[in-house]
């Protein structure tokens, strides 16, 4: 009888934890093709306002060590568009390392910056969802 109560308590706790996810985005992410990754997040300006209807692109990183570069393929790269809350989801992404860019206008993009002032690099794995949370972007003066 005591074992049954403990089991029920453990199952109840697991259910509660699963229902109180700490994800910062509410956007639904459609399934990805097998072997490909998924990414989601939320874009805000420096003041915390949602960046709605902005293009978000992933730029793959090439090279290794201190000889690395990322290249944005505006014509055929992987990307998506933020919703009214600044949320985005990108599916069917080949596994690899990427820099996330917000397209300001044709030929002008802004990268998400990490705590060290460098472009934030995200590692996408096959068949896994990567949630970057909320990213604050400092937009260039226009």
Provide the total of helices (H) and of strands (E) in the chain, helices listed first.
1, 9
- Domain 23-137 -> CATH class: mainly beta
Tokens standing for residue 74: 């505006």
pLDDT value of position 94: 95
CA distance 58 to 39: 10
Residue ranges covered by each domain of the chain: 23-137
pLDDT value of position 73: 85
Q: What is the pLDDT of residues 12-45, one digit of tens each?
A: 333 333 333 334 556 777 777 889 999 999 999 9
pLDDT value of position 82: 96
pLDDT tens per residue, the chain (142 residues)? 444 333 333 333 333 333 333 345 567 777 778 899 999 999 999 999 999 999 999 999 999 888 999 999 877 789 999 999 999 999 999 999 999 999 988 888 999 999 899 999 999 999 999 999 999 998 888 6
In which element (H, E) is residue 93 found?
Answer: strand 87-93
Name the residue among 52, 53, 23 with its Cα closest to residue 40. Answer: 23
pLDDT value of position 25: 57
CA distance 22 to 72: 31
């Amino acid at each position: 009888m005591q074992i049954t109560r403990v089991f029920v308590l453990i199952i109840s706790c697991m259910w509660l934890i699963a229902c109180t996810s700490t994800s910062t985005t509410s956007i639904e992410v459609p399934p990805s093709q097998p072997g490909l990754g998924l990414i989601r997040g939320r874009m805000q300006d420096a003041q915390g306002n949602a960046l709605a209807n902005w293009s978000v692109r992933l730029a793959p990183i090439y090279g290794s060590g201190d000889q690395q570069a990322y290249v944005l393929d505006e014509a055929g790269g992987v990307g998506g568009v933020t919703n009214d809350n600044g949320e985005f989801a990108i599916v069917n992404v080949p596994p690899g390392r990427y820099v996330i860019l917000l397209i300001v206008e044709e030929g002008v993009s802004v990268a998400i910056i990490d705590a060290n002032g460098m472009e934030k690099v995200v590692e996408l794995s096959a068949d896994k969802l990567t949630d970057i949370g909320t990213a604050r972007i400092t937009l260039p003066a226009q």
